[in-house]
Structure 1
Amino acid sequence: MFDLILHAIPVFAICLALEAVSFHFLPDDDEKGYELRDATTSLSMGLGQVFINIGWKLVVLAVFAAAYSVAPFHLPADNPLVWVALFFADDFAYYWYHRLHHTVRVLWGSHVVHHSSQFYNLSTALRQTWTPMTALPFWLPLAFLGFSPWMILTQQAISLVYQFFLHTERVQKLPRPIEFVLNTPSHHRVHHGSNPEYLDTNYGGILIVWDRLFGTFEPEGARVRYGLTKNIETHNPVTVAFGEYRNIVRDVRTATDWRDRFGYLFRGPGWTPAAR
C-alpha cells in the first residue's frame, strides 16, 4: 500500500532546512527558531516512530480489515462523496483522540512527547510518540461504518502531512475566513502553549470548527510559551518517549487508596489526591 508519510519525508526535510536557514538570515527576536539539541531530539523521535510503525501499521491494518469485514455495508472508494464524508469523519475522530489524550493521564503519557519541546518549528512536528497504540480505538468505528482500511490510513496520512506545516512561527495569522474554518499555525501555536489561558485548547486536526462547536477554541493573543507546565529538561529520546509512563507507575504504586490510583490513571495530567 502507498505510504504517503514515507514519500513526504523528503519534502519535510527540505522545508525544515529552509525554515532553519530563514532563521539564520532573517532572525526575529520574538521567535525562538532552532536549537541543535532540541531539533536532534525531535528528529530522533520522528525516526523512531517511523520504525515502530513498520510493524504497528500491519496490526492496525489487520484490525481495521476485521472490522470492515463485518460492517453492514461497504462504501465505494470511487465515489467522491465518500471521500468527503471520510474527511469529516477522520477529522472528528482526530479531535476526540487529541482532546482525550490531553485530559486522560494514561493517554497523555503517549501524547506528552509531542509537547515536550520548548521550541516551536517544523522539527517539533516530527517529535512523535513511540507508543501509537492508544490511537487505534478512535478510528476503529470508521471501519465499522464501511470505510475501507486503506482509505482510513490514507486520510490519516493526509491529516498528518497537513499538520506538519502548522508547526512554525514563520507564518502569522492568515485571512479571517481561513482562520475561522481551518487549523492554522496561529491556532496550533496556542495549542502548544503552556500559558494558563492556552491549556487544553485548539485540538483540531485540519479543521478548527470542532473546537468552536465544543467550546475548546482559543485565539492567539499573548506571546506563547512553548512546552509543558513542568518541563522535563532532557534531550534523551528514551526519557522523552517513556518518562511520563514512569511517573504514572510511580504515582500508582505509591498511592494508598484505589480512588487515588484511578485518579492518577484516568484524570487529567497534574491531578493529585488533594484535588479529588
Structure 2
Amino acid sequence: MSKEKLTFEQILSLDLPNIILYAAPIMIGLVALEWYLSYRHKKDYYDNKDTIAATVIGLVNVAMSAGLKVATFGIILFFYNMVPWTIPNTWWSFILCLLWLDFWRYWAHRIAHENRFWWATHVTHHNSEKYNWSVSFRLSWTQHIKIIFFIPVALAGFHPVMFFIVHQIAVLYQFWIHTEYIHKLPKPIEYIFTTPSHHRVHHASNEKYLDKNYGSTFIIWDRMFGTFMHEEERPAYGLTKQVNSYNPITLNFHEWTDIFRDVKNSKSLKEAYAMVFSRPSELEKVKAKFKEDEQVKV
C-alpha cells in the first residue's frame, strides 16, 4: 500500500524508550549472581579483570549507541522513505520483522568473521578467554558502522519504530546465551533458536568449531547455509592468537592497529587490499604467499 513519508521530527517526537538501558540493571544483577555462583562452585568461568574490562566496554558502547541513535534512525528512515510500500503495524509484522532482521544479522555476523575489515568491528566480542554473561557486554566501539547491513529491513517496508524495537529485542536476546550454566535445552528449542550450547561453539577457538553458528536469535540460518556445528567437548574460548590484555582501548582497537601496520608494510596495492579484506583465518597463508612472491622477484 502507498504511504506518506515520515520526517525526522515525527520520529524524534515519539521519544522512544531505550529498552537496553532499562534492562541494564537486570543484566548487571545477573552477572553478579553468575559470578557469585562461579566463585562458590569453584568454577573458572570468571576473571575479575576481564569482567571489569567487559563492563567498561559495555557502558561506553551504551553511551555511544544513545549518542548515535539519531544518525542510526536517519539512515533507516531515509531508506524506508525510498520505497512506496509499507508493512502494517500488527502483531504478525513484528514476528516477520524479527525473522527478516535476524536473517540479515546472520549475514552481517558471518561477514564479520570472514572479512578482516568487518572482523575488526567484531573481534572485541571474541577476545575474552572466558564465557559468561559479562561477555555479552563486549561489543566493539566501531560496530555501529554495521548498520548498513540492516538497510534491507527498511527497504522491505518495516516502520523505523518497529525496526528500533525489534533490533533492541534481538540485541537483548544475545545476553542469556553467553553462559556455561545453561546446558542443552529440549530438541525443538535447540533446532530453531540459538541457545547457549550453540553460541559456546561460536565463541570457541578450537579448529573444529571455528566459523560456526553465526545465528543471532535463530539457528535455522546456520542449518540452511551449512555453518551449523553441534557442541561436543567443552570449547576453549578466545582467539586463536590471544590478545593478553585487559585494556579496553587495546581490546577494541588491536585489530585495527594490526591492519594499519600490515597495509603500511605492503609492497603493492594488491597486497594492501588483501591485508584489509582477506579472511582472518587465512591471513597468515596470504601473508606467506605475498612474501614468497616477493622473494621470487628478488
Which TM-score tier does this pair reach, normalised by the shorter chain?
over 0.9
Kindly report the root-mean-square deviation, in angstroms, between the aligned alpha carbons of the 2 structures: 1.2
User: What is the alpha-carbon distance in structure 1 between the residues aligned to residue 201 and residue 289 of structure 2?
Assistant: 26
User: What is the alpha-carbon distance in structure 2 between the residues aligned to residue 136 and residue 74 of structure 1?
Assistant: 20
Amino acid at match of 1:75: I
Larger of the two Rg values belongs to structure = 2
Gaps of 5+ in 2: 1-15, 291-298
User: What is the alpha-carbon distance in structure 2 between the residues aligned to residue 47 and residue 193 of structure 1?
Assistant: 25
Provide the TM-score with structure 1 as the length reference: 0.96
Q: Which residue of 2 aligns with 1:19?
A: 34
Aligned match for 2:258, one of 247, 258, 264: 247
- 1:200 and 2:214 matched: no
Deviations 1:93-116 (A, max 9, x none): 100010000011011001000001
- 1:176 and 2:190 matched: no
User: What is the alpha-carbon distance in structure 1 between the residues aligned to residue 41 and residue 144 of structure 2?
Assistant: 40
Q: Which residue of 1 aligns with 2:47?
A: 35
Provide the TM-score with structure 2 as the length reference: 0.89
- 1:60 and 2:72 matched: yes
| Identity rate, percent | 37
User: What is the alpha-carbon distance in structure 2 between the residues aligned to residue 275 and residue 6 of structure 1?
Assistant: 47
Deviation beyond 6 Å, 4+ runs, structure 1? none
Deviations 1:166-187 (A, max 9, x none): 0000011111111111100000
Q: Which residue of 2 aligns with 1:2?
A: 17
- 1:156 and 2:170 matched: no
Q: Which residue of 2 aligns with 1:49?
A: 61
Structure 1 position 275, deviation (Å): 4.7
The answer (yes or no) to whether the contact 1:181–1:207 under 8 Å persists in 2 is yes
Aligned match for 1:273, one of 260, 270, 287: 287
Amino acid at match of 1:38: D
User: What is the alpha-carbon distance in structure 2 between the residues aligned to residue 225 and residue 10 of structure 1?
Assistant: 29
The answer (yes or no) to whether the contact 1:107–1:134 under 8 Å persists in 2 is no
Deviations 1:28-83 (A, max 9, x none): 4xxx2211100000001101101111221210101111111122212121x22211
Once the two structures are superposed, the pairs formed by residues 85-164 of structure 1 within 5 Å of their partners are: 85-164=96-175
Deviations 1:201-243 (A, max 9, x none): 0000110000000000010012200000000000110111111
User: What is the alpha-carbon distance in structure 2 between the residues aligned to residue 255 and residue 132 of structure 1?
Assistant: 26
Of the structure 1 ranges 90-99 and 16-25, higher mean CA displacement relative to structure 2 is found in 16-25
Amino acid at match of 1:198: Y
